[in-house]
Amino acid sequence: MNITISTEQAVQPITVIHLDGKLDSNSFQKLINEAQSAFTGGARRIILDMTKLTYISSAGIVSLHSIAKLFRGEALPNADAGWNAIRSLEKERASGLQQNVKLLNVPPEVRSVLDVVGFSSFFEMHTDLQQAVASF
């Protein structure tokens, strides 16, 4: 997967991570690392642009969960814990919409996976970048 990063200017700058390709076991850690680098660099609001995302696996779901925790200021879950990370999603879904992480242009095939795992009620989704920026 290719990952590029841009910044949208708003009251506070918003980091946009653009995903291109498959978000799976081969790429999920790369996405977490990019988000962690952005957070360490001062980013506190992030949009994940999924316009060119073609596939998401359970590892990709774990990466989204990890990024949500990171941008809430919580410790990252242990990715090596496997199913424990997946099981902890139930608690996360109950916490409501994420305030600091938004999704942009989620393709239908990815949206269906997010619906199945309950992330449609966990992440705010937008189809327009400026609307996503304004939602913070």
What is the pTM assigned to this prediction? Answer: 0.88
Give pLDDT, residue 89: 57
φ/ψ bin of 104: left (φ > 0), alpha (ψ from -120 to 50), beta (otherwise): beta
pLDDT digits (tens, 9 = 90+) for 64-79: 989 998 998 888 776 6
Is 43 in contact with 76 (CB distance < 8 Å)? no
Return d(Cα 27, Cα 91) in angstroms, integer.
25
In total, how many domains does the chain have? 1
CATH number at residue 50: 3.30.750.24
- What secondary structure does DSSP assign to 29-67, as a single string? HHHHHHHHHHHHTT---EEEEEEEEEEE-HHHHHHHHHH
Q: What average pLDDT score do residues 34-63 get?
A: 96
Share of the chain above pLDDT 70, in %: 85
Structural domain range at position 101: 2-134
Could you tell me how far CA 37 lies from the centroid of its own chain?
Answer: 14
Q: How many angstroms separate the CA atoms of 127 and 49, rounded?
A: 10
Question: What span, in angstroms and rounded, lies between the C-alpha atoms of 63 and 24?
Answer: 9
Answer for the pair 123, 98: CB distance below 8 angstroms, yes or no. Answer: yes
